[in-house]
Structure 1
Amino acid sequence: MIGLKKRDMKTILKAGAKARGLSLSEFRAEIQENIDNAVNSQDPAVQERFKKYFGNRIPTPEEYIYTITKKTKF
């Protein structure tokens, strides 16, 4: 289990942006685009998995990373 807290999300986003060579806002926009693609996906499996994690709401990039990281089993 990863010892991850919601307050760590800003640090994680900054590290991800730096690793990708992007600004924080560009990195957040990229994650938001992935979220939007999942929400608007025509693939029933993608929609089912997204609803399982988030219900009918659209998460922020921070919530998305936190939830996916916590729920993914390694």
Structure 2
Amino acid sequence: MLHFRKKNSRELIKQVAKLHGCSVAEIREEMQLAIEEARNNDDPDKKAEFQRLFGDKTPTPEEFICKISKSLKI
């Protein structure tokens, strides 16, 4: 089972930044924007799923990776 901890998530973000030739800050910013879009999705099912996973909190990119990796069936 695939499961990331915060340390693993930070390393993953660093690797993505290196792969795309940009900074960690840029990757984190893009991820945070995507997380905000997911949180504010108009689809009631998607909104409920986000609420189930994160409650009223907007997760950091690292928290998002950790939580989502727990739900993957790989």
Matched position secondary structure for 1:4:
coil
Percentage of pairs with the same residue: 38
Query: Could you state the TM-score of these two structures normalised by the residue count of structure 1?
Result: 0.86
Considering only aligned residues, what root-mean-square deviation do their CA atoms show, in Å?
A: 1.4
Judge conservation of contact 2:2–2:72 (CA < 8 Å) in 1.
no
Query: Could you state the TM-score of these two structures normalised by the residue count of structure 2?
Result: 0.86
| Residue 28 (structure 1) aligns with | 28
Q: C-alpha distance in 2, partners of 1:29/1:69?
A: 20
Unaligned runs of 5+ in 1: none
Q: C-alpha distance in 2, partners of 1:45/1:19?
A: 33
Distance verdict in 2 for CA 1:18–1:57, change over 3 Å: same
| Residue 73 (structure 1) aligns with | 73
RCO greater where, 1 or 2, for CA within 8 Å and sep 6 or more?
2
The offset of 1:4, in angstroms, is 3.0
Judge conservation of contact 2:3–2:69 (CA < 8 Å) in 1.
no
Distance verdict in 2 for CA 1:10–1:45, change over 3 Å: same
